Amino acid sequence: MKRLSRLLPFAALALAFTAAMPVGAEPAATRLVADTSQITFVSKQMGVPVEGSFKKFDAQVAFDPRKPEGGTVALQIDTASAGFGVPMSDAELPKQPWFDAAHFPQASFQSSAIHALGDGKFEMAGKLTIKGVARHVTVPVGIVAAGGNYAVATGSFTIQRLDYKVGDGEWTDTSVVANEVQVRFKLTLAGFGPL
């Protein structure tokens, strides 16, 4: 009985907290729809643009477009899934000079601030980590409703591959493979709140 009397104040507090929450205050979980999402990268090889992609990635999104400053976005990319669709090149990308997938199986992005720019456009600042090297990036993102509770987030930004040691050793020669790489993404999100 003594034990029960000690628990009663905690139970009362929990009930009061639950009662104070407005109905529908818990947002639906937002999840990535992988089969209709894509992350691509474009680099120049001998001056010719070549497009590759990552086949495996995941994201955790906690983001209310009406209150973006309180949101967070985390993205994990399987570096071994990078490819250009050319077997010989695809076999090289996971190796040490490039993504070194054996030691660094994931690249990641973790947001630190999200700002609304109006008209479905946002600016997302955060840390991009590739091969253990973390750099601050700012990513412009556009979000449009896609019917039901779906939304599509798109954007692109440019990085310098040598900042992340992608293309080490003999591949640091930027006349063969350019230093600049454009990253593009189209992420379909389910359970997204109204814009």
Categorize the per-residue pLDDT at 195 as very low, low, confident or very high, splitting at 50, 70 and 90: confident
Closest CA to 129 of 142, 114, 113, 111: 111
Which tokens go with 1?
């009985």
- What is the predicted pLDDT for the residue at 24? 40
Percentage of the residues of the chain whose pLDDT score is greater than 90 = 76
- Summarised one tens digit per residue, pLDDT across range 125-179 is 999 999 999 999 999 999 999 988 899 999 999 999 999 999 999 999 999 999 9
Burial 16-39 (b: 16+ CB within 10 A, else e): eeeeeeeeeeeeeebebeeeebbb
Mean pLDDT of 34-51: 96
pTM for the whole structure = 0.83
Decide if 180 contacts 44 (C-beta within 8 A).
yes
Percentage of the residues of the chain whose pLDDT score is greater than 70 = 86
| Answer CATH for 28-190 from 2.40.128.110, 3.40.50.2300, 2.40.50.140, 1.10.287.130 | 2.40.128.110
pLDDT exceeds 70 at position 110: yes
> What gap in Å lies between CA 184 and CA 41, rounded to an integer?
6
**Phi, psi dihedral angles at 132 (to 5 degrees):** 80, 0
Mean pLDDT of the chain: 87
pLDDT exceeds 50 at position 124: yes
Mean pLDDT of 95-122: 97
Looking at per-residue confidence, does 76 or 7 come out higher?
76
- Summarised one tens digit per residue, pLDDT across range 48-70 is 999 999 999 999 999 888 889 99
* Alpha-carbon dihedral sign for residues 107, 156, 52, 170: negative
- What is the predicted pLDDT for the residue at 4? 38
